[in-house]
Amino acid sequence: MAQTKVCSPSCSSFRCGKNVAWFRRDGVWCKDGDEYCSVIKCTYAMCNKRRLLSQGICGETVKRKTVERQPDELFRDDNLKLKNVPLKGRALRKLSRNEDDDDY
């Protein structure tokens, strides 16, 4: 599993969403398009294991990348990327009322 592989219709987990894949000796034929089945082009291509990624790549051959972080690094201010969210109505009134009050 050193490199990624493209999903093929001959895989046991492959499934056609329209049920038009026809298995022949020389490959898998699409009855809908009257051509060989191409996982990359087909919008009905599915994986029973839910591992089909974009561009027809098999998710079983992709290695995950994880990053180890210390707990104090997770909660630092520079890691938080907050955006300004426009508020309307009741939420805006509640927040503006709380900002005026210094009780909390």
Question: Residue for token digits 């599915």?
Answer: 46
pLDDT of residue 69: 74
Residue 70 domain flag: no
- Whole-structure pTM value: 0.49
Residue 2 domain flag: no
What is the C-alpha separation between 13 and 23, in angstroms, rounded? 14
pLDDT of residue 89: 85
DSSP 22-48: EEETTEEEETTTTEE--TTT-SSEEET
Residue 20 domain flag: yes
Number of domains in the chain: 1
pLDDT in tens, the chain (104 residues): 458 888 888 888 888 888 888 888 888 888 888 888 888 888 888 888 888 888 888 888 888 788 777 776 666 665 555 567 777 888 888 777 665 555 54
Residue 32 domain flag: yes
Q: Quick one: the chain helix, strand, coil %, rounded to 5?
A: 25, 20, 55
pLDDT of residue 68: 79
Please give the DSSP secondary-structure letter assigned to residue 63: P
